[in-house]
Structure 1
Amino acid sequence: MIRYPYLSEGGIIGITAPSSGVEPELHDLVKQSIHRMESMGFQTIVGDTVWTQKKAKSAPAQVRANELNALLQNDKVDLIFPPWGGELLIEMIEYIDYSEVKPKWIMGYSDTSVLLLALTLKTGIATAHGVNLMDLRGEKSDETTAMWRNVLATKSDESILQQSSILYQKAWQHDNPSPWVFHLTEPTEWKSVPKGISPIKGRLLGGCVDVIRHLIGTPYGDVATFQQHYIANEPILWYFENCELSTTDLRRSLVQMKLAGWFDNCSGILFGRSAANHTIEGYEIVDVYKDLSNELGIPVVYDIDCGHVPPQITFINGAYAEVEKRDGSWNFLQTFR
């Protein structure tokens, strides 16, 4: 069975940097984010790794793991919230003491998704793929982003409904500060191949393809054992986002996942919007989706609210999900069973 953490009102948030820390010139943004959490009534514990960054990482792998392990084993911590992703989280996953992890939420995306997926696969504890801490520093959040609190406060055997966003952000505007961190300007449109398919149901697993693909063939990417041991061989509904991969590199990565058995007993695949989906010699991103759908005989939904093109729905690794198109928008229902 999947174990679901619970974020209580006034709970304790542990802030650590298992991938990249924050450079001194951006420390004020961290402080704003911490203040925002505390203004919501949460208490915070802030690790040393948050404030340092050298050679593409916050600290050596063992140092990052030690700080994370302390939070993972602390019964009082409800949520572990990295400031953001980075590049080299994978260096430290072998140093996590998985047998001593106490159920608590971990939330983030990008490089953090390596930790999220590895932890759920190894322990059966649900993890949350969603907004980064630094993205919540603003005074206000759009409706899609703000749902993170409701999702993490959902109890076992309960369900939580999210819906596709109305608008998304085409480009970051760091030089245009406002009460909102995101500037949502473009109409959202989830699409599918084949068209008209819904609903799609399955157990959620996923993350950023750029980084989680490196778990394939390791003890931290054993999807088959997870499926047998924790979800009684229920079908998996995968969700992915592409940060920087070319269209052909994404295709290669997905084929590797297929050959590694990650898509065995798969009910569908969801893909987030991406600024990296450039056409290569006439090979378009929609060709990738069509090829995958045809090969696996499953539906693919794309341009969803996931990843580096905000806003994002909060996806729970291990939860049972139903995705359905209704009246021009999409419903995304997760049940914590």
Structure 2
Amino acid sequence: MSTARVLPAPLAKGDRIGIVTVSAPEPARNLDQFDHGVDVLRSRGFEPVTAAHALGEHGYRAGSETALLEDFHTFIADPEIAAVVCAGGGKNANRLLRGINYALIAAHPKPIVGVSDPTVLLNAITARTGMPTFHGPAVLWDFGSADAPAATIDHFAAVLAGEAHSARVGAPLGWARPGTAQGHLVAGCLSSLRCLLGTVWEPDWRGAVLAWEDAFKPVEQLDQTLTHFRDRGVLDQISGMVVGELLGCEPSGEMGAQEMVMDLCAEYGFPIAFGLPFGHTPLKHTLPIGAEVLLDSTAEHGLTITSPWTATVAEGEQQ
């Protein structure tokens, strides 16, 4: 974990957003929906710019490691690009981890947004640079969806603009174990985060609030993955856990996800909340990975961001 804390500049209407594909060739295979997502960003006052290889196909990836890294680094270094947003997901974003120029990112801090598979990159970037990254909507599956809730796009725009009200996450949480916890946020798809365990890009778990979600995994597979986190020592170090809405994660042996989590976490005392809409759900909150958050079962808003996440948010303003 970098000791320096770098904050990205906020995003404003009229800014140019660079769109990259870091894994599967989903935009090329869903071009109409991708184009709709680009149009939605434009309708919200932004100027989308599509990377050179974002619409490519290279087997099960959109391009070679070299090509996809070139797209990413080009937008990071370009002062005219205010934010970088991932087009979609996939399975192999971790192929880019060793090639990312983390010093370049720290020298050109700007919002970087992704969901699902690309969250492996977000958490690695935050771990190596100290800069918050953003777990939020994808161009293809969120902005490009005809059924995308307006609240998803509204929260994305508010968080990236650094608007103070967006620090109070308005989703009602279900408390399986009440309590309070404060720490930096590690957030993402559980099976993607697992790719960082034991690597040089692994997040700093000490005192962290872990927010995780996943999709289309049976509960026994979620158990296997979360057990890996336990055996790596992650659950010994975190201060709180938030489990998001689990899309298509069916019970195994009549055991649901909440029962599994509480069984696996029985020996720990940290608070555990369920039901946060983020990640694979159509309605999703944009979460700043690396920012300090407060998890509080007694508060009106169970999850609150308590530290600046963009360069223009004053200390303590969010509260």
Residue pairs, 1:310-325, within 5 angstroms? 310-325=282-297
Residue pairs, 1:10-29, within 5 angstroms? 10-22=14-26, 24=28, 26-29=30-33
Whether the aligned pair in 1 keeps the contact of 2:215 and 2:249 (CA below 8 Å) is no
> 1:136 — aligned with what?
143
How many residues align structurally?
300
Taking the aligned partners of 2:179 and 2:66, their CA distance within structure 1 comes to 45
Consecutive unaligned residues in structure 1, runs of 5 or more: 165-188, 228-234
> 1:92 — aligned with what?
96
Change (3 A) 1:37 1:278: closer
1:191-221: per-residue Cα shift (whole Å, max 9, x none)?
Answer: 2222xx2444221102101122011111111
Q: Calculate percent identity across the aligned residue pairs.
A: 22
Name the aligned partner's letter for residue 266 of structure 2. Answer: N
Consecutive unaligned residues in structure 2, runs of 5 or more: 309-319
Question: 1:97 deviation in Å?
Answer: 1.0
1:257-310: per-residue Cα shift (whole Å, max 9, x none)?
Answer: 122233343111111111343222344322222124322211211122122223
Q: 1:150 aligns with which of 152, 158, 162?
A: 158
Taking the aligned partners of 1:158 and 1:87, their CA distance within structure 2 comes to 34
> 1:82 — aligned with what?
86
Is 1:209 the counterpart of 2:203? The answer is no
> 1:252 — aligned with what?
224
Deviates more, 1:121-130 or 1:299-308: 299-308
Residue pairs, 1:219-298, within 5 angstroms? 219-223=200-204, 235-298=207-270
Change (3 A) 1:149 1:272: same
> Aligned to 2:267, what secondary structure does the other structure show?
helix
Question: 1:20 deviation in Å?
Answer: 2.0
Change (3 A) 1:53 1:336: farther
Taking the aligned partners of 1:61 and 1:252, their CA distance within structure 2 comes to 29
Whether the aligned pair in 1 keeps the contact of 2:168 and 2:301 (CA below 8 Å) is no
Q: 2:114 aligns with which of 108, 111, 116?
A: 108
TM superposition score normalised by structure 1: 0.81
TM superposition score normalised by structure 2: 0.85
Change (3 A) 1:144 1:27: closer
Is 1:193 the counterpart of 2:180? The answer is no
Whether the aligned pair in 2 keeps the contact of 1:159 and 1:336 (CA below 8 Å) is no
> 2:312 — aligned with what?
none
Taking the aligned partners of 1:27 and 1:281, their CA distance within structure 2 comes to 40
> Aligned to 1:202, what secondary structure does the other structure show?
strand
Is 1:333 the counterpart of 2:314? The answer is no
Question: 1:325 deviation in Å?
Answer: 4.8
Question: 1:49 deviation in Å?
Answer: 2.0
Taking the aligned partners of 1:87 and 1:76, their CA distance within structure 2 comes to 30
Name the aligned partner's letter for residue 154 of structure 1. Answer: G
Change (3 A) 1:277 1:44: closer
Change (3 A) 1:163 1:288: same
